[in-house]
Structure 1
Amino acid sequence: MAHVLAVYPGTFDPITLGHEDVVLRATQLFDELIVAVAAGHHKKTLFSLDERIAMVRRAVQHYPQVRVESFSGLMRDFMVARGAKAMVRGLRAVTDFDYEFQLAGMNRHLMPEVETVFLTPSDKFQFISSTFVREIASLGGEVDKFVSADVQSCLQARLRRS
């Protein structure tokens, strides 16, 4: 059987427990996984690219088959350069499905040799989004049920500086 490399792309601003759950699920399906952190040229991010990469690396450090890289430009180019055969996408709810379905269709045209695999996080993580985490934290709310202790301290430090 062939070695299968998958890529899980995202902005991860910040990485949540839902993202971490999707990583865990992907490690059970694929030989190797790259968590690809987007430079975020299309989004204003709270954390810099280097900060996001560092948080993701700490979150996935106990998975030997997972590595973290940054990317900008077309995901197609990133995946082809690495020989990836699957793209992992997390689905939280029906509201994600329409966008993700369209994205998967476009990706199939750009890279027909790559399969998109949708993974859903555990029930307790299905409502978590980085956007909600940033908003709750910025308003002084507790986010410890949504992110790791490491990410929570990064959020608190960032918000103290702002």
Structure 2
Amino acid sequence: MKIALFPGSFDPITKAHVDILKRSISLFDKVYVGIGLNSNKKPLMEADKRLEMLKAVFKSEPKIEVISYEGLTVNFCQKIGASYMIRGIRTVSDFEYEKAIAQMNHALIPNIESIFILSKPGYSSISSTIVRDILRYGGDVSQFVPAEALQFLPALSNG
């Protein structure tokens, strides 16, 4: 069975994330969407809210399971039996960063392969960081996030 993990903070999930996942599910028997919990980051949304949001977005996709985890992503891959890690690439700088992480992961656990999927050109400028900034200043993010996620987003305005 081919099992993959698509790790991220998903704070919040974007249409770019959804596109990468939809394009990758045909390659695998099961894809875990792993919400990585990083105590060094102050998230916009709590982990349980992100979990609920992702489950709503992927409720009709039986090959996708949403879970959260802490610690090294490659260790979590081993725990869930994933031999592949999916990563989306939007820019050259994403590639350089992801390549370095993939090489370190491979050094730690050689049997876990990183699979890079290039974003579609229309999604290359969408990032969770930018979506969070738009939310913080009361902007409309509906064109950047899946419709199922909108109800979970906090209403913020500092501007």
Asked if TM exceeds 0.5, the reply is yes
Q: CA deviation at 1:123?
A: 1.7
Aligned counterpart, 1:46: 44
Kindly provide the CA deviation profile for residues 130-153 of structure 1, in whole angstroms up to 9, marking residues without a partner as x: 000010121122211100233233
Gaps of 5+ in 2: none
Aligned counterpart, 2:82: 84
Contact 2:137 2:156 in 1 (8 A): no
Kindly provide the CA deviation profile for residues 23-71 of structure 1, in whole angstroms up to 9, marking residues without a partner as x: 1011011111000001122311000000011111111112101101110
Q: CA deviation at 1:4?
A: 0.3
| Equivalent runs, 1:23-42 vs 2, <5 Å | 23-42=21-40
User: TM-score, with normalisation over the residues of structure 1?
Assistant: 0.91
User: Which has the larger helix fraction?
Assistant: 1
Aligned counterpart, 2:104: 106
State how far apart, in whole Å, the 2-side matches of 1:8 and 1:140 are: 29
User: TM-score, with normalisation over the residues of structure 2?
Assistant: 0.93
- Aligned residue among 141, 145, 148 for 1:143: 141
Gaps of 5+ in 1: none
Q: CA deviation at 1:102?
A: 0.4
Superposed CA RMSD: 1.3
Aligned counterpart, 2:156: 159
Name the % identity.
Answer: 38
State how far apart, in whole Å, the 1-side matches of 2:117 and 2:80 are: 22
Closer/same/farther in 2, CA of residues 67 and 151 from structure 1, 3 Å limit = same
Aligned counterpart, 2:54: 56
State how far apart, in whole Å, the 2-side matches of 1:149 and 1:30 are: 25
Could you tell me which amino acid in structure 2 is paired with residue 113 of structure 1? N
Q: CA deviation at 1:122?
A: 1.9
| Equivalent runs, 1:6-21 vs 2, <5 Å | 6-21=4-19
Contact 2:74 2:112 in 1 (8 A): no
Q: Secondary structure at the match of 2:151?
A: helix
Aligned counterpart, 1:130: 128
Contact 2:90 2:125 in 1 (8 A): yes
